[in-house]
A and B are shown apart, each in its own frame.
Chain A
């Protein structure tokens, strides 16, 4: 997985068009800054291609145009300007008279000024674009600038040049497709001055848009896809080919939802002829898609045609019926060959007439087998295949599947055969994700490896283990994140799923696995927690379990303040208003919902608390000084809020 650079020309100079479609850099069009710019800006570099570490210069030319013949428009911009050059990654300035937000003022038509920017690339950038922005005096304060074009430098990395050259020579297929031209898509078509064909597909503030690209590859195989996009933050996209072979890709942030694009290259397996390549935003920042370019020679995954294996020293009949399988999506497995002989305890070789290339290949045990290989090797013709191994869980302690594919015939692999998680048959497998070919991740299978069911109240747990996966495993409970790692120990009932990812791909979702709650499990033990309270002598709330109503509570007030004469206690318990002459006692609260109790001494018979201290003008219906008694300095009452958790 790598980013691809697009190279522009040597010198890029441009005239400013009287075009209202120009957009300023932060995406906000400033009505006070029209595009009738009296200053003409251009940039040029002193060489077309630079090497990493090689110093070069860019000149920025500014000339006041002659607008004497053009007085039809108001032109709030004048010859005074501030410049800002947005550097590409990896570039450092080493000299020149340009500095950040350098300013100038041109008074007479034809008057010119130039700024020089000298520097070098210290690393190969994703893109060699220098972007020129222009502002007014005020722009520095409000950070608003007008886009005035860009200069793209080709950056040559000697270490990569040789491989790039080889790659270019080998590329026999190239097809570019504009996102806005694809009929299968959602999200708006939006304009962008930098976009290929001037338009993109997608919005700035929504990630969930997709584009279906119809790609016509000359032959089936592996191709490189370079996506050009704009993003407001790092986007995550899901890539599928004809609805399958899903891979989730975390794209780097382009840095701006418009103007500044990024190219990102990834690999996909395409069929010969038309394939629908769907790129759909699934999270993170928005991804305004501009175009894709598909290149490559249709590199095929190798065709598995032989395995060599070495069985352990016993139970030779368990080899008979084992299968060799292949998969291109890491989820669906196709039988390539079924072994029809017993093991011998020494090396055995099986060849078969397979013609289909697969990204992943594996050995799956016979219906009575537990793995039991000491070693296995996969071959395409005479070539031993390499890649990232994977295998099933659980296994007997110190007899993991890794022993079957570690390159030595010593220890053997043996799947768990007794206790929780014991599994016989083809759920015992070991295989390879083939190097240079596999673009998808292995979808894990969930196996319960400890416990029976769960009970949160007693911390009764089960352990779930992911069997067969790529990279790291993520767990979901009822669709929400529940943890990560090969195994998950949990006390929570529900439906679990898992997926795996290795940084360049994400597998499909595993099968669902239901974890049940023990039949005699009490509801999670809730305990009251006081969220806020006041003077304890006024209101101290006691919250105890209601023995007559499991899950319910009884509220009592053990405050000690005396009730003034002529008043009664007004308690607000949730929405209930209780008037009483005594402290609150065993008031039912029959749920675990949060709540509040307020306590005040109110005039006996008061109809509403909507009473206020009398103003100087006097008292009336709404103003009544004695409606609520002052129970203590600073306290008109007591208030306690609480939750259960």
Chain B
């Protein structure tokens, strides 16, 4: 009898104390937002908000009326110094917003002041057009670091464009180590004085051997990395201690995605790499292009005018749910989000539209309404020597969505910034539980299983709980998510689609 009572108690205890808490995931689009105006509008529907310390948001001013101050008021932390517009000079910006400058991905000639005037001649991976004397020596590279530092152009957010095109200098050249070693020393000395974080990144996208789609590797090859110190990883990178880029402290993941069917895997691989970069002790983030870079092109985008309809064929724009998701995850799997390639200072009237004949003559189509002009009436000719003017670009609203992802994170994850992240066990529709991985390799597991991720972050008595599934169908599912450290607690809600589902909870 005693044994029966004990059994009853043991069986009953978890049941008696288990608690399943219903949650409603937060809407991802701010109330009142209306993209049908075809004009950027993220600022008008977003509250003033502050990005938590240590997190970075570069959000360009997409609308003519948007100002530096407003950009910072919406959570922006750094501003591209090449996109200051007519609001003021660089000196004015620097004095008004000290150390909020972002260098705007300068190319190698810009960084080093190379003339690149000779004939093209490729030798040992570099082009003598820009490097007539070959890579810098150790002393030259270190002197260059001082020269750049003294010029005032070493902004606290430094992201280079160093791995493309004719000025290319391979990243494995020792000059890079000398250069970054010296430059990092200068940054570190400054940080010791002013406590301002700096982010020093060689290139806006990372190259490395960590690709989950590598058919010569197995799932286990990747998962074992989560149990190892980075020094034990089978494949090393330039960022490892002793590598040519080891003195940089930031590794950005470029979101330049390809064909539509490959996107879920590419996105999961991005998160996987970000986890590895953090294990390597680096800051990381997303350098986000709101369109697909490598996909079948020529998708026309419509702009309506009273006189007719204008179309411009371009690279396909991302799914807004994906843009929001990545804006959010940039701060969960890293701490930096840079919106790149977005047109600036666009007029709300949608006109004029910039036109550069060699490029746009095969991209633009005009369908006039009855009585409308035969040719598009609101072109603004672009070209060398022509005066600058703010002009409109079709798909003007596209970057609003990646901002909304950042906003969503500030409103939820921003409350637990610096807290502890956990993957969570979950199940859908009452099916079998998908348990969190002991080593934390849930991203790898989810990639190979083509499934979603449940995760949370806890700080004090607050927790954000979120779920995303890059491979999702578009049907409703009931999800149950276990609290990662309190087995008596779980949460339940409804999820649907490939976007982010997040809620901020008091625990």
* Residues of A near any B CB (own CB < 8 A): 23, 26-33, 141-144, 188, 190-191, 203-206, 232, 257, 283, 480-481, 529-536, 549, 552, 572-577, 587-596, 598, 600, 608-611, 628, 630, 633-639, 641-645
Assess the B476–A594 pair: CB atoms within 8 A. no
B99 at the interface (CB under 8 A from A): yes
CB of B92, distance to nearest CB on chain A (Å): 8
CB of B102, distance to nearest CB on chain A (Å): 14
B225 at the interface (CB under 8 A from A): no
Known: A141-B91, A205-B196, A645-B33. 8 other contacts (CB 8 A): A191-B193, A283-B50, A574-B474, A587-B474, A598-B316, A600-B296, A641-B398, A645-B31
Name the CB-closest residue of B to A592: B27
Contact of A639 among B34, B316, B472, B476 (CB under 8 A): B316
Q: Tell me whether A204 and B196 are in contact in the complex, defined as CB-CB below 8 angstroms, given that A26-B94, A31-B150, A610-B261 are known contacts.
A: yes
Contact of A593 among B28, B149, B196 (CB under 8 A): B28
Contact of A575 among B98, B264, B298 (CB under 8 A): B264
- The distance in angstroms between the C-alpha atoms of A406 and B297, with both chains bound, is 75
CB of A233, distance to nearest CB on chain B (Å): 9
- The distance in angstroms between the C-alpha atoms of A603 and B263, with both chains bound, is 20
- The distance in angstroms between the C-alpha atoms of A257 and B299, with both chains bound, is 49
A-B contact pairs, 27 of them (CB 8 A): A27-B98, A142-B151, A188-B195, A232-B98, A480-B47, A481-B47, A531-B35, A532-B398, A534-B299, A536-B302, A573-B474, A574-B498, A575-B264, A589-B497, A590-B474, A591-B496, A594-B28, A596-B320, A610-B262, A628-B296, A634-B311, A635-B313, A637-B299, A639-B299, A643-B33, A643-B320, A645-B33
Name the CB-closest residue of B to A23: B193
Assess the B474–A589 pair: CB atoms within 8 A. yes
Assess the B34–A575 pair: CB atoms within 8 A. no
Q: Tell me whether A577 and B397 are in contact in the complex, defined as CB-CB below 8 angstroms, given that A27-B194, A594-B324 are known contacts.
A: no
CB of A238, distance to nearest CB on chain B (Å): 16
Assess the B301–A26 pair: CB atoms within 8 A. no
Ranked nearest first, the 3 interchain pairs of A and B with the lowest CB-CB distance are: A591-B496, A609-B259, A596-B319
- The distance in angstroms between the C-alpha atoms of A251 and B34, with both chains bound, is 37
Q: How many A-B residue contacts, CB cutoff 8 Å? A: 207
Assess the A596–B313 pair: CB atoms within 8 A. no
CB of B376, distance to nearest CB on chain A (Å): 14
Q: Tell me whether A641 and B300 are in contact in the complex, defined as CB-CB below 8 angstroms, given that A595-B497, A609-B259 are known contacts.
A: no
Which residues of chain A are within 8 angstroms of B84 by Cβ–Cβ distance? none
* Residues of B near any A CB (own CB < 8 A): 27-29, 31-36, 47, 50, 53, 91, 94-95, 98-99, 146, 149-152, 186, 189-190, 193-196, 258-264, 295-302, 311, 313, 316-322, 324, 362-363, 365, 394-395, 397-398, 401, 470-476, 496-499
Assess the B99–A27 pair: CB atoms within 8 A. yes
Q: Tell me whether A26 and B95 are in contact in the complex, defined as CB-CB below 8 angstroms, given that A530-B36, A575-B472 are known contacts.
A: yes
Assess the A635–B31 pair: CB atoms within 8 A. no
Assess the A204–B194 pair: CB atoms within 8 A. yes
CB of A465, distance to nearest CB on chain B (Å): 24
Assess the A529–B474 pair: CB atoms within 8 A. no
Assess the A594–B29 pair: CB atoms within 8 A. yes
Which residues of chain A are within 8 angstroms of B401 by Cβ–Cβ distance? 594
Contact of B472 among A257, A529, A574, A598 (CB under 8 A): A574
Q: Tell me whether A595 and B152 are in contact in the complex, defined as CB-CB below 8 angstroms, given that A31-B186, A532-B397 are known contacts.
A: no
Assess the B363–A634 pair: CB atoms within 8 A. yes
Which residues of chain B are within 8 angstroms of A23 by Cβ–Cβ distance? 193
Name the CB-closest residue of B to A555: B474
Assess the B302–A534 pair: CB atoms within 8 A. yes
CB of A28, distance to nearest CB on chain B (Å): 7
Contact of B300 among A191, A610, A611, A635 (CB under 8 A): A635
Assess the B497–A574 pair: CB atoms within 8 A. yes
- The distance in angstroms between the C-alpha atoms of A630 and B28, with both chains bound, is 35
- The distance in angstroms between the C-alpha atoms of A29 and B99, with both chains bound, is 12
Name the CB-closest residue of B to A642: B320
Assess the A575–B470 pair: CB atoms within 8 A. yes
- The distance in angstroms between the C-alpha atoms of A535 and B366, with both chains bound, is 11
- The distance in angstroms between the C-alpha atoms of A630 and B151, with both chains bound, is 51
Assess the A645–B34 pair: CB atoms within 8 A. yes
- The distance in angstroms between the C-alpha atoms of A641 and B397, with both chains bound, is 11
Q: Tell me whether A636 and B499 are in contact in the complex, defined as CB-CB below 8 angstroms, given that A188-B195, A532-B398, A596-B320 are known contacts.
A: no
Q: Tell me whether A28 and B152 are in contact in the complex, defined as CB-CB below 8 angstroms, given that A593-B28, A594-B28, A641-B319 are known contacts.
A: yes
Assess the B29–A645 pair: CB atoms within 8 A. yes
Name the CB-closest residue of A to B395: A532
Q: Tell me whether A143 and B260 are in contact in the complex, defined as CB-CB below 8 angstroms, given that A590-B496, A593-B28, A596-B318 are known contacts.
A: no
- The distance in angstroms between the C-alpha atoms of A37 and B402, with both chains bound, is 50
Q: Tell me whether A32 and B150 are in contact in the complex, defined as CB-CB below 8 angstroms, given that A593-B497, A596-B319 are known contacts.
A: yes
Which residues of chain A are within 8 angstroms of B311 by Cβ–Cβ distance? 534-535, 634
- The distance in angstroms between the C-alpha atoms of A23 and B98, with both chains bound, is 14
- The distance in angstroms between the C-alpha atoms of A635 and B194, with both chains bound, is 53
- The distance in angstroms between the C-alpha atoms of A645 and B33, with both chains bound, is 7
Interface centre among A203, A232, A481, A590 (most CB of B within 10 A): A590
Which residues of chain B are within 8 angstroms of A590 by Cβ–Cβ distance? 474-476, 496
Assess the A636–B299 pair: CB atoms within 8 A. yes
Assess the B47–A641 pair: CB atoms within 8 A. no
Interface centre among A206, A576, A610, A634 (most CB of B within 10 A): A634
Name the CB-closest residue of A to B32: A645
CB of B338, distance to nearest CB on chain A (Å): 18
Assess the A594–B321 pair: CB atoms within 8 A. yes
Assess the B300–A534 pair: CB atoms within 8 A. yes
CB of B397, distance to nearest CB on chain A (Å): 6
- The distance in angstroms between the C-alpha atoms of A248 and B346, with both chains bound, is 39
- The distance in angstroms between the C-alpha atoms of A529 and B320, with both chains bound, is 12
- The distance in angstroms between the C-alpha atoms of A232 and B150, with both chains bound, is 23
Name the CB-closest residue of A to B153: A142
Assess the A549–B471 pair: CB atoms within 8 A. no
Name the CB-closest residue of A to B77: A205
Which residues of chain A are within 8 angstroms of B196 by Cβ–Cβ distance? 203-205
Which residues of chain A are within 8 angstroms of B94 by Cβ–Cβ distance? 26, 143
Name the CB-closest residue of B to A205: B196
- The distance in angstroms between the C-alpha atoms of A636 and B316, with both chains bound, is 10
Name the CB-closest residue of A to B323: A594
Which residues of chain B are within 8 angstroms of A574 by Cβ–Cβ distance? 319, 321, 472-474, 497-498
CB of A433, distance to nearest CB on chain B (Å): 30
Contact of B320 among A533, A595, A610, A633 (CB under 8 A): A595
Contact of B475 among A588, A598, A611 (CB under 8 A): A588
Assess the B302–A532 pair: CB atoms within 8 A. yes
Which residues of chain A are within 8 angstroms of B99 by Cβ–Cβ distance? 27-28, 204-205
Which residues of chain A are within 8 angstroms of B264 by Cβ–Cβ distance? 575
Q: Tell me whether A595 and B321 are in contact in the complex, defined as CB-CB below 8 angstroms, given that A205-B196, A634-B362 are known contacts.
A: yes
Which residues of chain B are within 8 angstroms of A529 by Cβ–Cβ distance? 34-36
- The distance in angstroms between the C-alpha atoms of A530 and B258, with both chains bound, is 24
Contact of B260 among A549, A572, A645 (CB under 8 A): A572
Assess the B302–A591 pair: CB atoms within 8 A. no
- The distance in angstroms between the C-alpha atoms of A406 and B146, with both chains bound, is 72
Which residues of chain B are within 8 angstroms of A531 by Cβ–Cβ distance? 35-36, 320, 397-398
- The distance in angstroms between the C-alpha atoms of A589 and B365, with both chains bound, is 32
Assess the A609–B296 pair: CB atoms within 8 A. yes
Which residues of chain A are within 8 angstroms of B263 by Cβ–Cβ distance? 575
Which residues of chain B are within 8 angstroms of A573 by Cβ–Cβ distance? 474
Assess the A598–B260 pair: CB atoms within 8 A. yes
- The distance in angstroms between the C-alpha atoms of A564 and B363, with both chains bound, is 23
CB of B410, distance to nearest CB on chain A (Å): 12
Assess the B29–A644 pair: CB atoms within 8 A. yes
